[in-house]
Amino acid sequence: MKYLNDFLKHLINLNYSTKTLKDYSYIISDFDKYLNAINIFDEKNVTESHFTDYISKYKNSEFHSSYYKSVTIIKKYFRFLQEFNYIFLSPIEKIKNPKQVVKHHPLIDKKELFKILNNLDSDDPFVLRTRAIFELMYSSALRPGECLNLNINSINYLNKTILIRKTKTKTDRFVPVTSEALYRITKYIEKVRFKNNRLKDNNKLFISFNSDNAITVKGLNNSLKFYFTKKKLPRFSLYSIRATSATHLFENGMSISYLALLLGHKDYRATAIYVRVSFILLKKMFDQHHPRNKLEDKRIKNYESTKVN
């Protein structure tokens, strides 16, 4: 693709994350390889049929995520070419965007989660760091990346808040944090971080024991896989902690609007993805809070008293 670098620079100006840029670059380059194989070397010569042939390999439920990404990203690329006059019209604009399949991360049973946390109770450096990460994520329903990218000065112990910078939505936000999470963070800092941080200019809160840089999500997952297998503990996705925290908060009475603020969502529909409650609880909350139910209760009582008379 002749204009891929221009497109990526455009996305950088829009503050797209490094990971997103890599995804865009990979998918557009993969389409470019397909075009080159059929002797198409200029975006101006691309037709709708070229694109539909390319994405046909993804038209399977098993590859729906790749299909969704390919359609949306490549359409966005050609829309950029059209908008900035690299081409006259996008050849694939009429192709409908597929519906995004929402991936639900399994919730962790409350008793099971507390059992795992209680098992993380020793002065081993890995255990202290992992307990602090888990408590913080569960406390404030953080994304794994948000938690691991925290700076040591992001925590306000007096106000019991943490500052999340460069979130998925490109905005900063303050979120509250529990006393238990602050206690575990303090313990980790005192017993692990100060002893293992050989890079004095490294301000990241959670550091890797191997590189002294911030620990990555992949690095943490690899460590957890080894530890949980050794201790015969059930494995779960880091995102499951965020979903579990949001669901527990909702079950305990926090409204969707406040949950959206905590999770950093601009759209309440995104928050609903994380909140999953049993139908029994939903029915109970519905019966308690819907004003029409209260009116119905009065009518039923009046009707019953009429029948008795």
Domain ranges of the chain: 4-83, 110-274, 279-308
pTM: 0.65
* Nearby residues of 144 by Cβ (< 8 Å), 6 or more positions away: 137, 217, 220, 238, 239, 242
pLDDT at 303: 43
pLDDT tens for 158-181 read 999 999 986 665 678 899 999 999
Which residues are 204's β-sheet partners? Answer: 151
Report how far residue 195's alpha carbon sits from residue 11's, in angstroms, rounded to the nearest whole number: 40
- Angstrom CA distances, 11 to 19, 172, 235, 254, stand at 12, 19, 36, 36
> Helix, strand or coil for residue 89?
coil
Give tens-digit pLDDT for 49-98: 999 999 888 776 566 678 888 899 999 999 999 999 999 999 999 888 87
CA distance 230 to 245: 26
Question: Greater confidence, 90 or 202?
Answer: 90
- Grade residue 302 by pLDDT with cuts at 50, 70 and 90: low
Among residues 137, 189, 186, 169, the alpha carbon closest in space to that of 16 is found at: 169
Residue-wise DSSP of 118-176: HH--SS-HHHHHHHHHHHHHHHHT--HHHHHT-BGGGEETTTTEEEE-S-TTS--EEEE
Q: Is the distance from CB of 78 to CB of 92 less than 8 angstroms? A: yes
Helix %, strand %, coil % of the chain (to 5)? 60, 5, 35
**8-state DSSP, 208:** -
Percent of the chain clearing pLDDT 90 (strictly above): 37
Q: How far apart are CA 3 and CA 86, in angstroms?
A: 8
**Residue 185 contacts residue 160 (beta carbons within 8 Å):** no
Task: Label residue 300 by pLDDT band (50, 70, 90).
Answer: very low
Q: Which CATH number applies to 110-274?
A: 1.10.443.10
